[in-house]
Structure 1
Amino acid sequence: MEILLIRHGESEADILNVHEGRADFLLTERGRQQVRLMAERVQSEFPPQIIFGSTLKRAQETAAVLAETVRCPVEYLPELQERDNGKQAGLPYAEGNLKYPMPDLPHLAIEDGETWFQFRMRAESVLSHLFHRCEGHYDRIAIVSHGGMISALLQSFLRMPATNVVWFESSDTAIHLLEKVEPQRVVKALNDTTHLRDLD
């Protein structure tokens, strides 16, 4: 089974230079252009049979456009939301970093937020759930989510330890293509944004 991991398009938080995380911003007009280009490429090269999306607005809109373009069902799962950054969400970068810095230790959380261990376990759990549900029923699925969650999903897919120093970058509407053929787990593409090359 192939798995497409897709990040949402540019959001209003990117323009405002604020911490996003659980702050629920919409896509910008540029973000919507990015999403249309991504959806056209996915339809042409690797259309999924079902899409699972985060319930945050920027990912919901991205997943909805993709589903309409490739003409397949979409389901929204709160487990695919970005890491809960608590009181940091929505604050300007400088203010958020000063008042609520991200803890260095994986068992600690920003106030009212989520620890790294909790976040990684959420990624492990939702990936395991989707594998159990989809294997044998679909040849290709898509997951539309956020940069932090996609990095955690990739770590989980590759069976990396819960504590590590690896970060998988995801640009706006980046596509990561994976394949699960037990006992192998294959990475076919990472952070692919060639569909955006002609966007000004």
Structure 2
Amino acid sequence: MELIFVRHGETDLNFNKKYQGRIDTSLNQEGINQAKQLKDKLKNFKIDKVYTSPLKRTKETLEILLGDNQENISIYEEIRIQEIDFGYWDAVSYDKVMLGYEKEYEDFLRDYKNFTFPGGESFRDFYKRCVEFLLDIVDPKSSERVLIATHGGVIRVFLCHMLGLSKDMFYNFSVKQGCYTRILVYEGINLIEEINK
């Protein structure tokens, strides 16, 4: 089995360094350009199946990426691969969160693995749902090439889980917008072929 993880293209919230979880934003022009470049990078890969987050930014990226091929591929919306719910921090700049939620931000830095975003989701619940999704779809005996259009945080969970790493490694991965990561799945081993391409 082959998995291709795609992070959506840039949005205005990304550009302005604001938290972006469940808030449903569209790609900006740079994000559209990134999706077009991604289409070119993946043009020689035959995709058998697609899973996508239901959020606009991933679906817009996917629409550009697949183009006219959408009718020939099974596409499934999957709520478990939405970005983490940042709650009250959604659409707020990193700087304003540090000032306006000083205690909570300190708690987050001290122990993000046991943190619940104010008005949002806990990291544990987020991590659990992403892993459950992977366990449901991964089949080492399959010859399918599956593309998953999702978010940076979700891809970090996938990488930690598939490489047998602890949650402590979550922030050790940089997942770039409008890029893909490709993993080959065998019995007993998950092989990273490409990352942030």
Tell me the TM-score normalized by structure 1: 0.86
Residue 144 (1) aligns with residue 156 (2) = no
Letter in 2 for 1:122: R
User: What secondary structure sits across from 1:170 in the alignment?
Assistant: coil
User: What secondary structure sits across from 2:114 in the alignment?
Assistant: coil
User: What secondary structure sits across from 2:83 in the alignment?
Assistant: coil
Aligned to 2:57: 58
Aligned to 1:155: 160
| Unpaired runs of at least 5, structure 1 | 193-200
User: What secondary structure sits across from 2:172 in the alignment?
Assistant: coil
Letter in 1 for 2:96: E
2-structure distance, mates of 1:80, 1:169: 18
Query: Which has the larger displacement, 178-187 or 64-73?
Result: 64-73
User: What secondary structure sits across from 1:27 in the alignment?
Assistant: coil
1-structure distance, mates of 2:117, 2:30: 31
User: What secondary structure sits across from 2:61 in the alignment?
Assistant: helix
After superposition, give the CA deviation of every residue in 1:135-186 in whole Å (9 maximum; x if it has no partner).
53x5200011111111111111112223446522111211101010111111
Percent sequence identity is 23
| Unpaired runs of at least 5, structure 2 | none
2-structure distance, mates of 1:70, 1:150: 24
Measure how far apart 1:15 and its partner are.
Answer: 3.2
Aligned to 2:75: 74
Residue 2 (1) aligns with residue 2 (2) = yes
User: What secondary structure sits across from 2:138 in the alignment?
Assistant: helix
Measure how far apart 1:189 and its partner are.
Answer: 1.0
Aligned to 2:29: 29
Tell me the TM-score normalized by structure 2: 0.87
User: What secondary structure sits across from 1:113 in the alignment?
Assistant: coil
2-structure distance, mates of 1:89, 1:96: 10
User: What secondary structure sits across from 1:3 in the alignment?
Assistant: strand
